[in-house]
Amino acid sequence: MNVFRPPPPPDPARDKFALARKELSAALIERDEEIDLALTALLANEHVLLVGPPGCGKSLLLDSLLSWTGGSKFSILLTKFTTPEEVFGPVSLAGLKEDRYVRVTAGRLPEADFAFVDEVWKASSAVLNTLLKILNERTYDAGDGVARRVPLRLCVAASNEWPSPDTGKELSALLDRFVLRATVSPIRSQAGRQRLLWTRDHAPKLTTAVTPAEVDQARRRAQSLPWSAEAKEALEVILKELAKEGVRPGDRRQFKTVGVVQAFAYLCGADEVQPEHLEVARHTLWDDPQEQPQAAARVIAKIANPVGMRVTQLLLEVEEVLAAAEVRNLADAARAAAKLAEVDRQLAGLTGNGRVAAGRAYVKDQLRQLKLASIEAV
């Protein structure tokens, strides 16, 4: 007997998130993962840390989100010489005349809706201690003893490297404030490099705008998204398998992961959390950045989304083939085309994952370009 389920109520905010996700992905080359992390963090009321070389589009991503949401942005490149005044505002001279030590926060981090903090590990203790409180509690005391709420919706921090194990408790505490963390790599694929080199304007063109009220509404709906029994069981298995690998994320990180996964499922258009949505947890369920991220990604992909894991492996094979192929050599191009056709056949045998269709479309496009290049070489 089929049980009638009424259609979900209209959700214009979710539709806007879905469209923004699509338009950002169309413009920012090979940055789908970073886009998903930023939008998920916005929905989950968390922050994102991106580690990688300069020039990988980290700041452009935040600027694009800012153009979509509106609001104010605070950006800063931290060094060991950065003073608290540069981040939180200068001390009020009028206040000093009245024997009060109060900061003027206009235009500084305590009044920003979005923040981009570059080289986040370089800050001094005086900056880090206050930054921790703003990121974690969303409050700031300007000096009058009153902890006021800050409007900060999302902080994207960046660094060229992960903190080393001997950097002390301060940097470990700061690392923990970023629930979502990821390594950003330069563009890898041949197709991506072609887009980078021969497209002059890479700025996303977002056709909608979202209000703060819509973001809050989307956040509430994401937080209320139910978990399927299969997803709950998959999370339990993941935590047990991670423990066997020596990866034991703390209680707070496990708790926050639940909200992050709900936000990601909402972003994906789901009405309940399924095991495949746990893939985003590979960016949350670890503490030590040296080896644990790789272990977490392996364990979570195997349990949460084995089909997606296989798609990723096959697409990596495609990139290796394309990188090694000399398209002007007809025999070489024919071998590459045969390998891509075989990958497409393997992808066609996979089901139950949205990545399959996207992967097949990519492989077919590469096959088409390979054949065109071979024809031109004749």
pLDDT digits (tens, 9 = 90+) for 235-285: 999 999 999 999 999 999 999 999 999 999 999 999 999 999 999 999 999
| pLDDT for residue 1 | 46
Which of these ranges, 109-113, 143-147, 242-246, has the smallest mean pLDDT?
Answer: 143-147
| pLDDT for residue 101 | 82
Angular region, 269: left φ>0, alpha ψ -120 to 50, beta rest: left
Q: How many CB atoms lie within 10 A of CB 311?
A: 22
Token pair belonging to 18: 């879905």
The C-alpha atoms of residue 302 and residue 306 are separated, in whole angstroms, by 5
- Mean pLDDT estimate for the chain: 90
Residue with structure tokens 């949460």?
Answer: 304
The C-alpha atoms of residue 243 and residue 143 are separated, in whole angstroms, by 44
pLDDT digits (tens, 9 = 90+) for 171-215: 888 999 999 999 999 998 878 888 899 988 888 999 999 999 999
pTM for the model stands at 0.86
- Please give the full DSSP string across 273-325, using - where no structure is assigned: B-GGGGGGGGGTS-S-TTTHHHHHHHHHHHHH-HHHHHHHHHHHHHHHHHHH-
| pLDDT for residue 321 | 87
pLDDT digits (tens, 9 = 90+) for 68-105: 999 999 999 999 999 999 999 999 888 888 888 899 99
b/e 278-303 (16+ beta carbons within 10 angstroms → b): bbbbbbbbbeebeebbebbbebbbeb
The C-alpha atoms of residue 152 and residue 85 are separated, in whole angstroms, by 18
Mean pLDDT of the region 353-371: 84
15 Cβ contact partners less than 8 Å away, ≥ 6 residues apart: none
- Please give the full DSSP string across 175-210, using - where no structure is assigned: HHH-SEEEE-----SHHHHHHHHH-S----------
Residue with structure tokens 């994401």?
Answer: 222
Q: How many CB atoms lie within 10 A of CB 122?
A: 16
The C-alpha atoms of residue 266 and residue 255 are separated, in whole angstroms, by 18
Single out the residue of 158, 193, 163, 156 nearest to residue 42, CA to CA. Answer: 156
| pLDDT for residue 6 | 63
β-strands 48-51, 139-141: how paired?
unpaired
pLDDT digits (tens, 9 = 90+) for 53-63: 988 888 899 99
